[in-house]
Homo-oligomer: A and B are copies of this chain.
Amino acid sequence: MLNSELISFENPVFRCYLGWSAVLVLKIFAAAIYSGLMRFFTSTFANPEDLMSPKLKVKFDDPNVERVRRAHRNDLENILPFFAIGLLYVLTNPSAWLAINLFRAVGIARIVHTIVYAVVVVPQPSRALAFFVALGATVYMALQVIAAAAF
């Protein structure tokens, strides 16, 4: 079988990857918009040309802005590798049940991660749990891809 036949809307695993990837792209952008709004609310602008009033000065240390920026960066560190490895994992023709639940786990865990990190701060280990669920699922996919490439 050609692996590229798995890239089809009739393959439920590929469709599930497709849907969650697009949702997570929107989630990353939501973090971007949210950090922009937080800059406005707290008048924390990093560039002189962004200052809304001549009385303002550039500012880099607002804790609310920095918190959203950390959540956003954590998305880049974890969701962007998932985009790559998720597609390659689909091409290994995994069990549909397992693959679909792994994609759901990554999608839901990363949305929860942003919420408990930057929207309503929830005490640990909530953020650590969300982080490790998504990380564990993505690591499993990477190991399956390595196994498929090697044998």
Question: Residues of A with Cβ closer than 8 Å to B?
Answer: 2-5, 7-9, 15-16, 18-19, 21-23, 25-26, 28-29, 32, 46-47, 49-50, 66-67, 70, 72-73, 76-78, 80-81, 83-85, 88, 91, 117, 121-124, 127, 135, 138-139, 142-143, 145-146, 148-150
Contact = CB atoms under 8 A, between A and B. Distances in A.
Contacts of A16: 149
Contacts of A23: 142, 146
A29 B131 CA distance: 11
Nearest to A77: B32
A88 B21 contact: yes
A48 to B, nearest CB: 8
29 contacts: A3-B8, A4-B7, A7-B7, A9-B91, A16-B149, A18-B88, A18-B145, A18-B149, A19-B145, A19-B150, A21-B84, A21-B88, A22-B142, A22-B143, A22-B146, A22-B149, A25-B142, A26-B142, A28-B81, A29-B135, A29-B138, A29-B139, A47-B121, A49-B124, A49-B127, A76-B76, A76-B77, A80-B80, A84-B84
This chain: copies in complex: 3
A145 B76 contact: no
A124 to B, nearest CB: 5
Contacts of A7: 2-4, 7, 91
A75 to B, nearest CB: 9
Nearest to A47: B67
